[in-house]
Amino acid sequence: MRTICFYFQVHQPFRLKPYRFFEIGDDHDYWDDYSNRNIMNKVAKKCYLPMNQLLLELIRKYDGKFKVCFSLSGTVLDQMEAYAPEVLHSFQELVATGHVELLNETYGHSLCALKSETEFKDMVSLHQEKIQHHFNGYKPKVFRNTELIYSDEIGAMVAKMGFDGILSEGAKHILGWKSPNFVYVNSIEPKLKVLLKNFRLSDDIAFRFGEKTWTDYPLTTDKFIGWLNQVPQEDEVINLFMDYETFGEHQWKETGIFEFMKDLPGAIFQQTNFSFSTPSEVIANASPVGQINVPTPISWADEERDLTAWLGNDLQDEAFDRLFELENMVKRCDDPEIYKDWRYLQTSDHFYYMCTKFFSDGDIHAYFSPYESPYEAFINYMNVLSDFILRLKQAEKAKA
């Protein structure tokens, strides 16, 4: 078996509006509807709609031999419902071909697996309901945690929820001499299969494609095919995992990214012995080669491939801890609006904006942040959280 597994993360957060201290207690509307709508429509035009159409044409052209998979966060699905129903329809059309797999994840694109198993299960159930609602009862078999965050314990929780497999990062410090181009199993629950991202080949497309200072620029189809053919023949699966916004948003149309993707499947069929598979097909057809031991959580972010993009500095940890101190209060109050805001406040992007890293990773964080500084992101978030706490206390008092 020699196959390629394309996985695309599709996510947009609900961004907070500028929320000042003196608004606490008076304004319970936290979300920047103008920015969220505009960004969704911009990305829809530049990425989602043209790329979905391209993938649909490729699936039809190759009679289903070309396959991909998506993980659509609950927050992006909510935004598609509100701002861009034509985008949601285009994803439904792709899934209806039978050659596109959907993955389960946390509804709010949350870091809750690191804090609360109960909330983690609730978030996964909410996301599954959302997928079933929009995609004709579809029930995902494979899981993708927020930002590919994975550890032995997280994998064990996912296995208990009945999933066959999980996606994660092929981090060097975890793999050592091992290759990411095989199927592994969770070290606690071996029934859970683990697919690991080939970060070099994935990032050549996702991050380096349009970088003119890269020594291998420009990345042509022939060059990429050459790299694939250099992969040892015994390697079974090349997992190409990336943000879907790579196409047209992070890598602009002018870089040639759409033409590259249009030509790639045909070149792979003609010039290599690779096929295309979805994660479920990889899990079904490839035998695991052993356990992967991940005692400390890994992710697909930054050079370290750890959690420091979201957690670790004083700002991030204070905000994250304060948020999850409220879990029991939120669930006792049983208010749909409060619970919705609670889910959206968990979205990992809020903590990403508070990252204080420097150099190349810091530049990436600054690119995605709507704030002038991590400190501004923290203050804005904590102002919102202060109001949210007041609402919770008022809801508890009303129930008493």
Q: Is the dihedral of CA 124, 4, 184, 296 positive or negative?
A: negative
Q: Are residues 101 and 140 in the same domain?
A: yes
- DSSP tag of 253: G
Q: Is residue 354 in some structural domain?
A: yes
| Radius of gyration from C-alpha coordinates of the chain | 21
Our measurement of the distance from residue 46's CA atom to the centroid of its chain's CA atoms, rounded to an integer in Å, reads 19
Residue length of the chain: 400
Q: Is the CB of residue 130 less than 8 Å from the CB of residue 107?
A: yes
Distances (CA, A) of 44 to 78, 101, 205, 340, 385: 14, 20, 20, 24, 30
Q: Are residues 321 and 277 in the same domain?
A: no
Give tens-digit pLDDT for 128-184.
999 999 999 999 999 999 999 999 999 999 999 999 999 999 999 999 999 999 999
CB atoms within 10 A of CB 359: 8
Q: Is residue 287 in some structural domain?
A: yes
Q: What is the pLDDT of residue 140?
A: 98
3-state DSSP: the chain helix, strand, coil percent, rounded to 5?
Answer: 50, 15, 35
Give tens-digit pLDDT for 15-27.
999 999 999 999 9
Q: Are residues 197 and 150 in the same domain?
A: yes
Q: Are residues 40 and 126 in the same domain?
A: yes
- Residue reference for tokens 């699905």: 77
Q: Is residue 297 in some structural domain?
A: no
State the chain's mean pLDDT as an integer. Answer: 95
Q: Are residues 166 and 279 in the same domain?
A: yes
Q: Are residues 270 and 330 in the same domain?
A: no
Q: What is the pLDDT of residue 239?
A: 98
**Domains identified in the chain, total number:** 2
147 catalytic? Reply is yes
Write down which residue in 244, 259, 292 finishes a domain: 292
Q: Are residues 247 and 334 in the same domain?
A: no
Write down which residue in 236, 260, 292 finishes a domain: 292
Q: What b/e readout covers 12-45, taking b as 16+ CB neighbours within 10 angstroms?
A: bbbbbbebeeebbeeeeebbbeeebeebbeebbe
Phi, psi of 22 (to 5 degrees): -75, -5
Q: Are residues 245 and 339 in the same domain?
A: no
In the set 101, 105, 119, 147, the catalytic residue is 147
Q: What is the pLDDT of residue 359?
A: 40
Provide mean pLDDT across the span 278-307: 95
Q: What is the pLDDT of residue 399?
A: 77
Q: What is the pLDDT of residue 397?
A: 84
CA 116/CA 61 separation, integer angstroms: 45
CA 281/CA 64 separation, integer angstroms: 13
Give tens-digit pLDDT for 350-377.
999 999 975 444 444 455 688 999 999 9
Q: Which of 246, 270, 272 is nearest to 258 (CA)?
A: 246
Q: In the chain, how long is the greatest CA-to-CA distance?
A: 70
Q: Is residue 229 in some structural domain?
A: yes
> Is 339 exposed, middle or buried, given 0-12, 13-18 or 19+ CB atoms closer than 10 A?
middle
Q: Are residues 130 and 253 in the same domain?
A: yes
Q: Are residues 128 and 42 in the same domain?
A: yes
Q: Is residue 298 in some structural domain?
A: no
Give tens-digit pLDDT for 208-255.
999 999 999 999 999 999 999 999 999 999 999 999 999 999 999 999
Q: Are residues 339 and 211 in the same domain?
A: no
Give tens-digit pLDDT for 27-52.
999 999 999 999 999 999 999 999 99
Structural domain harbouring 48 = 3-292
Q: Are residues 150 and 256 in the same domain?
A: yes
Q: What is the pLDDT of residue 362?
A: 40
Q: Is residue 48 in some structural domain?
A: yes
CATH number of the structural domain spanning residue 255: 3.20.110.20
Q: Is residue 147 in some structural domain?
A: yes
Q: Is residue 201 in some structural domain?
A: yes
